[in-house]
């Protein structure tokens, strides 16, 4: 079981890295190509007064890159789709690493047993929320699947709207699983709270570290 969980954790991290890398690469290529054709047009204008043949050569190269840029209308749509997947995969990842901000200053004033009870109720509420949205989004996906409409600027490559939107129920299902893991750890007395981020505590630790360096 631990091996399976470790494999899934590593896959989750690798998939997030892949999404970030793909977004960066697509944007980088698009921006570079936009600047490349402008560069060759500038060279063509410069040589227009000196050599018409050289000028036409650079214009041809500029036209070539401009044609590529004009066919990359899909790049913006793809970046948006990748970002949507990143958000919903990141939701579950944030729960796992305690990346979401916890608003629990008053809760921490209570005893550990009280904190544990509150955490169980908060976890059950989170499970209900994630489960409800996961179920509702599956109904939405079923509607998109029936409509079978192509995604904006990506439909020409066979990508449908439901292909992109599928991450919504998947993402909330992953969030449900992560909160279920937290609930099990709380019940087993392996954890007291939801393990969310504490900005105030982090700021205090950073302040103490800087003071120690001085």
- Report pLDDT digits (tens) over 118-176: 888 888 988 999 999 998 898 889 888 888 888 888 888 888 999 999 999 999 999 99
The pLDDT, as a whole number, for residue 16 is 92
Q: What is the mean pLDDT of residues 64-73?
A: 82
Per-residue exposure over 172-210, b if at least 16 CB sit within 10 Å of its own CB, e if not: bbbbbebbeebbeebeeeebbbbbbebeeeeeeeeeeee
Average pLDDT score over residue span 62-78: 84
Number of structural domains in the chain: 2
Cα separation, 95 vs 91, whole angstroms: 6
181 shares a domain with 119 = yes
What percent of the chain stands above pLDDT 90? Answer: 21
The DSSP code for 102 is P
Domain boundary among 72, 93, 127: 72
> Do residues 26 and 129 both lie within one domain?
no
Of 24, 44, 72, which closes a domain?
A: 72
Are residues 177 and 83 part of one domain?
Answer: yes
Whether residue 87 is found in the same domain as residue 135: yes
Find the mean pLDDT for residues 196-204. Answer: 52
Question: Which of 72, 98, 116 is where one domain is finished?
Answer: 72
Q: Clarify whether residues 156 and 60 are in a common domain.
A: no
Q: Are residues 133 and 87 in the same domain?
A: yes
Q: Which range has the worst mean pLDDT, 5-14, 112-121, 154-163, 187-196? A: 187-196
- 89 and 20 housed in the same domain: no
My answer on whether 117 and 210 are in the same domain is yes
Specify the pLDDT at position 212. 60
pLDDT at position 83 is 93
Cβ neighbors of 5 (< 8 A, separation 6 or more) are none
82 and 180 both lie in a single domain: yes
Give exposure, 139-163, as e/b (b: 16+ Cβ within 10 Å). eebeebeeeeeebebbeeeebbbbb
Mean residue pLDDT across the chain: 81
Q: Are residues 67 and 91 in the same domain?
A: no
Residue 68: give the domain boundaries: 1-72
Q: Decide if pLDDT at 203 tops 60.
A: no
Query: Dihedral of CA 196/201/205/207: which sign?
Result: positive
Question: For position 111, what pLDDT does the model report?
Answer: 72
Chain centroid offset of residue 38 CA: 32
Between 51-55, 186-190, 198-202, the lowest mean confidence (pLDDT) is in 198-202
Q: Is 50 exposed, middle or buried (0-12, 13-18, 19+ CB in 10 A)?
A: exposed
| Cβ neighbours of 86 (radius 10 Å) | 20
Region 3-18 average pLDDT: 87
Q: What is the DSSP letter of 106?
A: T
pLDDT higher for 209 or 155? Answer: 155
CA distances from 10 to 16, 91, 110 (A): 10, 16, 36
Examine the domain organization and report whether 68 and 91 are in the same domain. Answer: no
pLDDT-derived band at 101 (thresholds 50, 70, 90) equals: low
CA distance 18 to 89: 12
Same domain, 111 and 19: no
């Amino acid at each position: 079981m631990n091996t399976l969980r470790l494999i899934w954790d590593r896959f989750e991290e690798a998939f997030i890295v892949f999404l970030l890398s793909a977004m960066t690469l697509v944007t980088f290529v698009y921006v570079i190509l936009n600047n490349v054709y402008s560069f060759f047009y500038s060279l063509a204008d410069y040589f227009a007064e000196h050599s018409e043949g050289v000028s036409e050569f650079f214009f041809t190269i500029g036209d070539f890159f401009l044609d590529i840029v004009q066919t990359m209308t899909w790049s913006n749509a793809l970046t948006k789709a990748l970002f949507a997947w990143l958000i919903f995969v990141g939701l579950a990842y944030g729960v796992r690493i305690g990346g979401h901000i916890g608003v629990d200053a008053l809760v921490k004033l209570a005893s550990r047993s009280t904190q544990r009870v509150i955490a169980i109720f908060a976890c059950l509420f989170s499970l209900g929320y994630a489960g409800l949205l996961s179920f509702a989004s599956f109904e939405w996906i079923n509607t998109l699947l029936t409509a079978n409409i192509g995604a904006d600027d990506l439909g020409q490559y066979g990508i449908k709207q439901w292909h992109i939107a599928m991450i919504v129920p998947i993402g909330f299902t992953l969030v449900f699983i992560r909160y279920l893991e937290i609930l099990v750890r709380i019940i087993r007395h392996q954890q007291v709270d939801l393990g969310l981020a504490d900005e105030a505590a982090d700021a205090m630790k950073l302040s103490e570290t800087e003071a120690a360096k001085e």
